Every structure is written in C-alpha cells, then in structure tokens.
Amino acid sequence: MDIESVRLLAMALAAGLGVIGPGIGIGLIGGGAMEAIGRNPEASDKIVSNMILAIVFTEALGILALVVAFIVRFV
C-alpha cells in the first residue's frame, strides 16, 4: 500500500467512526426529551432548550471527527 491509500483509508475511518457516537447520542437525547415532554408537557420549553444545547455539544464531536479526517487527508 502506498501512503496515499493509507491516508484515504484513515480519512474514511476517522469520518465514519467519528460520527457513529454523536449519531447515537443525538438519538438518545431526542428520545429522552420526547419522553420527558410526554410526562410533563408544561415543562416543554425548558426541556427543548436543554435538548438543543445538548445536541449542539454532541454534534461538536462529529464536527471534530470531520476536521481530524481532513487533517489526516491533507497534512
């Protein structure tokens, strides 16, 4: 294998595996929020704002994985 093939493989693995965790995390956050809203609809404003904040932090990990994949590819 030459170095370019290894870089492409590393990029694919970093991007692919790096978004699995945030994807699962966002699903769990959304499911928990929907369950909480179903149990207490009056608190939906607080629940939704906290859910969005948690999704943003979780998605930051996916973006970080994408940045690492590009660094592996081009540096």
Helices 20-39 & 3-18 angle (0-180, nearest 10): 10
Band of residue 75 on the pLDDT scale cut at 50, 70, 90: confident
Considering only the top CATH level, what class is 3-74? mainly alpha
Q: What is the DSSP letter of 41?
A: G
What CA–CA distance (Å, rounded) separates 44 from 19? 28
The structure's pTM equals: 0.82
Q: What is the pLDDT of residues 16-71, one digit of tens each?
A: 999 999 999 999 999 999 999 999 999 999 999 999 999 999 999 999 999 999 99
Band of residue 11 on the pLDDT scale cut at 50, 70, 90: very high
Domain boundaries, the chain: 3-74
- Position 38 scores a pLDDT of 96
- Residue partners of 72: CB distance under 8 A and separation at least 6: 7, 10, 11, 14
